[in-house]
Structure 1
Amino acid sequence: MEDDDLAKIRAARLAQLKQQQGRGGGGGSGDNGEDDDQRRKQESEARSSILNQILEPEAADRLGRIRMVKESRATDVENRLIMLARSGQLRSKVTEAQLKDMLASLSEHEKQTGHTVESVKVVRRGGWDDDDDLDDLLKDS
């Protein structure tokens, strides 16, 4: 069964590459808007096909709920899953628990990278610009 899934993934990728090669040599036909829409639709279908092959139904449902809340996070997870599938690192379908672990690791990574940026601390030194200097001048006169 895993070989069938892998074969389907490879076939989808091969079709995508062939489509890209066929599109690369075309001249200026003037239908770029339609071509772009059709290309986006085909890419979306290829992504959906791959995700359906590598995700268990519960994991796919969770990813759909995540997409409703934060589409960018769902896209990041999908990209990572597709990359893992294409590189052959997935041995079986991704379960909901594995998806939760992946989301937790992404959140932890964001916290680590985000925390260093937020932890910048500005320390101002006293010196020539103190407000007390004005008071000192007024007292002396």
Structure 2
Amino acid sequence: MADSDLEELRRARLQQLQQQRGTASGDAKQDEQEAQRQREASQRASLLTQILTPEAADRLGRIRLVKESRATDIENRLIMLARTGQLRAKVTEEQLKELLGAVSEAEEERGGQTGKIVVNRRGGWDDDDDLDDLLKDV
């Protein structure tokens, strides 16, 4: 290798090392934030396994597959009830269904989406008589 090639490699390596040093502190903060999120998720999961029967936990998992925001809302309510001492025993699947119903009703009262699909059709071209009228004109 020529001296110029070696010098170019040295400069590139020096620049790479400087960039790594500069991003190391940012990476440490990101790693700490990620570790904090993992600890919180682990604590939530642990608490939920303590307060839900296996059937209820399974249903909540299926709800999460369909609508994650609803499952998170239910989890938050259950955790709040557990932390305030309002749960006397593990939550059963039937109790979870009741809680889901209450959340759905509250969401409807707030004007949230209820899962209903409304189709508004435009008038005009869907009527067979209109098609016959058009064909007469031709």
Structure 1 length as normaliser, TM-score?
0.60
Tell me the residue number matched to 1:84.
81
Percent sequence identity is 62
1:100 and 2:90 are equivalent in the alignment: no
* Cα displacement (A) at 1:112: 1.2
Per-residue CA distance 1:37-68 (angstroms, 9 max, x = gap): 10000100000000000000000000000000
Alpha carbon RMSD of aligned pairs, Å? 1.1
- Which protein shows a greater Rg? 2
Spell out structure 1 runs of 4+ moving beyond 2 A. Answer: none
Bigger RCO (CA 8 Å, 6+ sep): 1
Partner of 1:58: 55
Query: Are 2:39 and 1:42 equivalent residues in the alignment?
Result: yes
Aligned letter for 1:66? I
Q: CA deviation at 1:113?
A: 1.4
Question: Any idea what the Cα deviations from partners look like across 1:61-96, whole Å, max 9, x if unmatched?
Answer: 000000000000000000000000000000000000
Give 2:71's aligned residue: 74
Give the aligned residue type for 1:102: L
What is the aligned length? 87
Where 1:91 maps in the other structure, the secondary structure is coil
- Gaps of at least 5 residues in structure 2 are 1-24, 113-138
